[in-house]
């Protein structure tokens, strides 16, 4: 109910803003006629510079198409009113007055075109800046090598999952995975091959988990997998799929190499109710897996 009321309040406020906006536009659009009516001057067209705010306001608010439309309306009002005044007074339009009408409308068109070009460029720069910010945001929370979410995103994500699981009384699991023999491969074949191996591992991990599970690269050859709304048996199945997927050799510069995973598994809320506790429990279980011969998984 709160959200609905809040949405209605926002809608009313937005409608009020739009109403005030258009009142302002119309006011400036007809201001020259009002002034001419009550304070006529010899060079009537001088007042028409006051219609510029209506054109510029619409340009900046709605963009070039609407701005040019208001420009056309403004110029049309100007020409019609001028013609009406001369017909009413029974006078002919003098050369000076005709030149003034032409000059005023020429200035309007010129200013509108220049402003439109300016707005288009500003909009292009804004879009480029938005894309750059989005790219920087992704780089901040993504591992540059594997493209997986990184350590910075991990804690926020797990805290969100904790709140969700607490609200709906669900369990979730954390897998802490470390690669066996990775240091040996990295030292023997070089860092470039080590990086290639990590990329391939990341791809295999993503193939092994369920659709809604999220794989993170913690650091080096350590990975974290968050498995939402899962029981122990299903978690066991995922761990077995990972070990089976990793059992095939990896191709590095035409040579075959192999690594295996040691996996520690913890559950919320049995093994911790806050981020640090759950990760620590999974980390301890991972070291237990290494002590038991590696290439296996252990529950906390």
Residues serving a catalytic function are: 221
Q: Rounded to whole angstroms, how far apart are CA atoms 66 and 60?
A: 10
CB 151 within 8 A of CB 218: yes
222: exposed, middle or buried (Cβ count in 10 Å: 0-12, 13-18, 19+): middle
DSSP characters for 127-159?
Answer: HHHHHHHHHHHHHHHB-TTT--B-HHHHHHHHH
Q: Rounded to whole angstroms, how far apart are CA atoms 218 and 86?
A: 81
CA-to-CA dists, residue 74 to 6, 16, 21, angstroms: 38, 24, 17
Q: What is the pairing mode between strands 250-252 and 260-268? A: unpaired
């Amino acid at each position: 109910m709160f959200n609905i009321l809040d949405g209605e309040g926002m809608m009313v406020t937005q409608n009020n803003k739009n109403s005030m906006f258009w009142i302002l536009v119309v006011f400036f659009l007809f201001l020259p006629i009002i002034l001419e009516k009550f304070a006529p001057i010899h060079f009537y067209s001088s007042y028409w510079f006051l219609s510029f705010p209506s054109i510029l306001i619409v340009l900046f608010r709605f963009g070039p198409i609407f701005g040019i439309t208001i420009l056309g309306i403004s110029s049309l009002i100007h020409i019609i009113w001028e013609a009406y005044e001369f017909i009413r007074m029974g006078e002919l339009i003098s050369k000076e007055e005709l030149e003034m009408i032409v000059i005023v409308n020429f200035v309007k068109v010129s200013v509108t075109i220049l402003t439109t070009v300016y707005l288009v460029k500003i909009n292009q720069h804004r879009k480029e800046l938005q894309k750059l910010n989005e790219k920087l945001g992704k780089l901040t929370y993504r591992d540059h090598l594997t493209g997986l979410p990184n350590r910075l995103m991990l804690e926020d994500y797990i805290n969100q999952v904790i709140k969700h699981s607490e609200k709906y009384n669900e369990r979730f699991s954390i897998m802490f995975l470390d690669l066996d023999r990775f240091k040996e491969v990295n030292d023997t074949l070089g860092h470039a091959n080590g990086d290639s191996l990590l990329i391939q591992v990341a791809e295999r991990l993503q193939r092994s988990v369920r659709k809604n599970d999220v794989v993170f690269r913690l650091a080096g050859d350590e990975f974290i997998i968050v498995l939402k709304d899962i029981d122990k048996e299903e978690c066991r199945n995922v761990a077995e799929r990972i070990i089976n997927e990793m059992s095939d050799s990896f191709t590095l510069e035409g040579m075959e190499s192999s690594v295996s995973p040691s996996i520690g598994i913890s559950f919320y809320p049995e093994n911790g109710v806050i981020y640090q506790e759950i990760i620590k429990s999974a980390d301890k279980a991972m070291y237990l897996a290494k002590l038991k011969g590696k290439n296996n998984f252990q529950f906390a």
